[in-house]
Amino acid sequence: MTTASLESSHPSADKRLKMLDATMKRHQYQQDALIEILHKAQELYGYLENDLLLYIAHELKLPPSRVYGVATFYHLFSLAPQGVHSCIVCTGTACYVKGAQAILANVEKVAYIRAGETTANHQLSLLTARCLGACGIAPAVVFDGTVLGNQTPESVCNHVQGWLQHGTD
């Protein structure tokens, strides 16, 4: 059910679900570990999308209402990027070494926002994640749910600039 929809919305280069599963396993699917698991999920995905919350609820055998309750209670969790489009720059070690900071700085410059913010025209939310499980193609960036590797500050800016301009039409 939700696993399939999570997997189908991401290409095979995306190992985030596997990494999330490994985290839940490490915590032995304990319901007490919900906050840690939500943390990990947000670290991997940048924000907690609906399917992700349902999936975690299912795996921990918790009512979805409980998981939503916790996710909405804590300010450090965000349930959705506020913008029409989202750009998640991986700042994990492998991507950092290959220039993730320069990518992030460049997007911040062209979009006039900082990581974690959304542009005034609501076209773009810029987020960061720590390791998408795509280290082999570092530096990796997720554009609207699609992971692309071997990115450069220029390629990422070209991608988001189209979105930013679209908002000014």
Distance between CA atoms of 112 and 118, rounded to whole angstroms? 9
Residue nearest ligand FES, CB atom distance: 92
- 67 or 103: CB nearest ligand FES: 103
Backbone conformation region of residue 29, classed left if phi is above 0, alpha if psi is from -120 to 50, else beta: left
Contact status, residue 75 vs residue 123, Cβ threshold 8 Å: no
Binding of ligand FES by 46 (CB under 6 A): no
- Enclosing H/E stretch for 125: strand 124-129
Residue 96: CB minimum distance to ligand FES, A: 7
- 111 or 140: CB nearest ligand FES: 140
Six token digits for residue 37:
């698991």
Could you tell me which residues come within 8 angstroms of residue 20 by beta carbon, excluding any fewer than 6 positions away? 37, 40, 41, 44, 52, 56
- Enclosing H/E stretch for 7: helix 2-8
Beta bridge pairs of residue 93:
none
Binding of ligand FES by 95 (CB under 6 A): yes
Radius of gyration of the chain (CA): 16
- 107 or 131: CB nearest ligand FES: 131
Binding of ligand FES by 140 (CB under 6 A): yes
Residue 9: CB minimum distance to ligand FES, A: 18
Contact status, residue 103 vs residue 142, Cβ threshold 8 Å: no
Binding of ligand FES by 93 (CB under 6 A): yes
- 15 or 85: CB nearest ligand FES: 15
Stretch that binds ligand FES, among 16-24, 42-50, 73-81, 89-97 (CB under 6 A): 89-97
**Interface residue with ligand FES, options 24, 38, 134, 164 (CB under 6 A):** 134
- 97 or 120: CB nearest ligand FES: 97
Residues lying near ligand FES in the complex (CB under 6 A) are found at 90, 92-95, 131-135, 138, 140
